[in-house]
Amino acid sequence: MARTVNATRHMVRRDAFLDVAQRLVQAKGYEAMSIQDVLDELEASKGAFYHYFDSKQALLEAVVERFADGAIADLAPLLDDPNVPALRKLETFFAGIARRKAEQKDLVLAIIEIWNSDGNAIVREKLRRLTVSRMVPLLSAVIEQGIDEGVFHVASPDETATVFVSLMLGFQELANDYFIGRQAGTITFAVVQRSVASFTEAFERILGIPKGSLTLTDESTLHFWFG
């Protein structure tokens, strides 16, 4: 029992650091936030901080990891339901991620700023690897189901999922650039629409499904971010 209580306290205290860090990243940006800012808000010592995180970068990674794990947890019941067709699971997966991003727009915008900073190449690579490690197993299971249903026509679920996620990351990087371009007025909404259509077709080809079978994102989501 004592070990369970200690584990719970550890989680609660760690989450307190993450809550403050997320709020500060959203309010002032990752670069401007310091470890001391976090300590001041929590009235905590450096020793307490380093008990949970070995650096400011590790703190950021934990914030992003919690965000990703929350999105996956929301989708888990649907992804685990054998009665839901694979293609519907895939579309709901994309829609669920989009919804989660919209709900935490301030955090997503802060992550975009971090992602695009030349000084955060190591952080960017770690976030990329985090995405791969979280998404490939989920998508592999969905793709395998689609193969069994006779809907997806691919040789290997695992390798296809890896390619799929790599393309997703490329799409996300382009979307980041488009978001900034739309804010600056250098990119039209039509360009965004054409790009989404092209990536959607690429995803369909990877899965071996007819053109027009997959909805990568809907118009309301596009207008929310790029309208």
Please give the DSSP secondary-structure letter assigned to residue 198.
Answer: H
Question: 158-188 in b/e burial notation, b at 16+ Cβ within 10 A?
Answer: eebbbbbbeebeebeeebbebbeebeeeebe
Residues 162-197: tens digit of each pLDDT: 999 999 999 999 999 999 999 999 999 999 999 999
pTM of the model: 0.85
Integer-rounded Cα radius of gyration of the chain: 20
What is the residue type of 165? V
CATH architecture of 1-53: Orthogonal Bundle (1.10)
Which residue ranges make up each domain of the chain?
A: 1-53, 55-226
CATH of domain 55-226: 1.10.357
Report whether 123 contacts 184 (CB < 8 A).
no
Residues 100-110: tens digit of each pLDDT: 889 999 989 98
